[in-house]
Chain A
């Protein structure tokens, strides 16, 4: 009798996101939404722990020599969603595809140190590098796809991975249906670009959960609604002010210091971000294995700021004028306007110019700026220091946009890259960060918290510091 009663299907957990994923093929995914959902569908060789140290996911590894890493596949996550077994051939095929220039994978640049890949049997993969790379295991975080997908098969809308979720349906850009492999629990991503509408849908119960991309005032409004639960964790993104060190007033360290001391970060974090953030002194979090706890804060000190400006030859008769470029994002313009006001208090006249992203970013890469604001997000490896601050990384070779050139910094970065022990690497990267804080090629401003808001149905969801959706692996609904 009981068996004749139809059991109602479990309603999906509806996760409201600002942007839909573009592709579910990890070999081509670069946008945040695609990468986060790919992490649910696929498993990578390597993951990261809380301190961003690489840890085994599909495989553990040994460094056979500075240019040879051997990965041995473990027992977890070895079954693709189509029922086939994940083997070393799939790993080799995935990375061979990325390294083939004809496939135009955006991940090829980060893996350019790989000379060749071998899979001697079904359980082992050997990566041979063209040069020593102490950070190499941390670069293998891309999801592994079946070998049959190498032959020009797009997994963009038909992903087959071995991760904790499998694709059920992707009927249009607005909704994406997944299912948890372990217990069959359904999950639906619902794209709602407008943050106000997203908050209203959560209140009305049309979605059950949202994370990030929410203005602080809306978070405050949601917090006061019955049944809403707001969870926060410190984020790993860092907002910063960048300077042109090749020409103009910002070449002068005293000017950059004056600007740093004129900014009241704590007031901005308290009144604009509603307390959901913390001041930053480096592009890496202090909790990062290569980060530095206790770096001196860039104190708000308008008096010192005025004195530095005077020493640099600026004053009432000859005020310092700075052109400050930012994007056309309304929230970023709002922040820029506050910074403009704070700098005016010490006598710096800021000409604020906002541009559409293409123009803005093009200007930054070409060095057409005096001062700009941007953020580094999702930083996992300390090779950001070579990429953004080494004198050999001027665009287009890297992202040293301010044209910072310091032989000591270069030497420290090069030393850290070949140091065999992580402790020594961390020590050298720590010295790099202290050096950067002294030279101020950029002013680290703050790290915004990652915030998730859940309605009554979603339980045990914890946001991650990098905004990934890993909390869905153990969430209940």
Chain B
């Protein structure tokens, strides 16, 4: 078991280094000059050269990469090109807001996806199953930039129940969480249904029913428990989806999270901030997947052997 965990942690570190390097390299390949962003177009070439030297941007890319890794290892993400604030301070509050929204979206996803998936599997081929499949296909096809404004029109403008956007008012998290959570719930529903259908045909479940166990106990304790592994994997992957999808949802709902900061920084060509945001999103995805992987290994010895 310890060997399994160490292997996973080692691969996590290797992937993290790869992600950090890739983000660094890609952002240096993207057109746009940070020095011009800072000094404006009217700056003289001499001033640009001077600032480029002082920022170390005149150095070979390998040197810049090594310095970046060195700073990163000390937890330094640098400064914003525009506001000159430490990026750590800029992103701290944003990460909290995104985490809050992501958690709410996952709650929505599980609250809808789990019962609907189980229900659809138990009613395989019947009306509920067909309705669930149709609804989930629709929900997975709707882009969040359309779903968000439609939810606002219904719940904020027509019914007047919830605020349009922002974070200050009570209930402000409901609409962004629904916008982010509904497509995830659709994917989860389908995964739960497929896993449950596979498990429901197993011999041990027939035995459990033959023993006279109540149907609810058979479903929850025996079927759902054994279908949990693929569901957990999907939930782990969904967290990555939540972070990526939050970029659009946060922009629509003026949710001051990491996604909104990423978009703002891209628009401003604030490359160090973009770099930090992409890095945090990527590393979160990597860490959550590794954690899911390890959890699956703990729960099922066959995964450890694979």
Contacts and interface: CB of A to CB of B under 8 A. Distances in A.
Contacts of B54: 102, 104
B260 A193 contact: yes
A301 interface: no
B292 interface: no
B39 A106 contact: yes
B295 to A, nearest CB: 34
Contacts of A102: 54
Interface stretch (B4-12, B41-49, B204-212, B230-238): B41-49
Given A193-B260, A387-B42, A154 B254 contact: no
Contacts of B165: 192, 197, 201, 206
B42 A358 contact: no
Interface in A88-136: 101-102, 104, 106-110, 112
Contacts of B48: 396
Contacts of B50: 101
Nearest to A359: B31
Interface stretch (A16-24, A36-44, A267-275, A335-343): A16-24
A109 B44 contact: yes
Interface in B55-88: 80, 82-85
A395 B253 CA distance: 40
B254 A192 contact: yes
B168 A175 contact: yes
B152 A101 contact: no
A397 interface: yes
A31 interface: yes
B252 A194 contact: yes
Given A106-B40, A193-B260, A23 B82 contact: yes
A172 interface: yes
B31 A358 contact: yes
Contact of A112 (B38, B44, B85, B152): B44
Contacts of A206: 163-166
Nearest to B82: A22
Contacts of A200: 149, 152-153, 156-157, 164
A293 to B, nearest CB: 29
Nearest to B42: A109
B167 interface: yes
B188 interface: no
A201 B38 contact: no
Contacts of A387: 42
A193 B251 contact: yes
Contacts of B264: 19-20, 173, 193
A110 B39 CA distance: 11
B149 A196 contact: yes
Contacts of B260: 173, 193
Nearest to A106: B40
Q: How large is the interface on A (under 10, 10 to 19, 20 to 34, 35 or more residues)?
A: 35 or more
A331 to B, nearest CB: 15
A191 B93 contact: no
A354 interface: no
Interface string B252-279: 1110100011011001110000000000
B51 interface: yes
Contacts of B268: 22, 31
A387 B42 CA distance: 9
A30 B84 contact: no
A451 to B, nearest CB: 20
Interface in A190-246: 190-194, 196-197, 200-201, 203-204, 206
A106 B38 contact: yes
A439 B39 CA distance: 32
Contacts of B263: 193
A372 B247 CA distance: 30
Interface string B19-56: 00000000000111000001111111101101100100
A157 B85 CA distance: 9
B123 to A, nearest CB: 39
A103 B172 CA distance: 41
A174 interface: yes
A173 B168 contact: no
Contact of B84 (A154, A194, A197): A154
Residue from A23, A156, A173 with most neighbouring chain B CB atoms (10 Å): A173
B43 A156 contact: no
B39 A193 contact: no
A20 B39 CA distance: 20
A260 B124 CA distance: 66
Contact of B45 (A192, A203, A397): A397
Contact of A109 (B40, B85, B93): B40
A206 B152 CA distance: 13
A191 B264 CA distance: 11
A399 interface: yes
B252 to A, nearest CB: 5
Residue from B152, B153, B166 with most neighbouring chain A CB atoms (10 Å): B166
A28 interface: yes
Interface in B79-101: 80, 82-85, 93
Contacts of B45: 396-397
A110 B166 CA distance: 38
A25 to B, nearest CB: 8
A296 interface: no
Given A31-B268, A108-B39, A197 B164 contact: yes
Nearest to B30: A358
Interface in A119-168: 154, 156-157
B245 to A, nearest CB: 15
A197 B47 CA distance: 41
A104 B156 contact: no
Contacts of A182: none
Nearest to B89: A157
Given A109-B39, A399-B41, 13 more contacts: A22-B83, A30-B40, A102-B54, A106-B43, A109-B40, A109-B43, A156-B84, A157-B85, A190-B166, A193-B263, A197-B164, A200-B149, A397-B45
Q: Which 5 A-B pairs have the closest CB atoms?
A: A109-B42, A358-B32, A106-B40, A358-B31, A362-B31
16 contacts: A22-B268, A101-B50, A104-B38, A104-B51, A109-B42, A154-B85, A192-B165, A193-B260, A200-B156, A203-B157, A204-B157, A204-B160, A206-B163, A206-B164, A362-B32, A396-B45
Interface of B: 30-32, 38-45, 47-48, 50-51, 54, 80, 82-85, 93, 148-149, 152-153, 156-157, 160, 163-168, 251-254, 256, 260-261, 263-264, 267-269
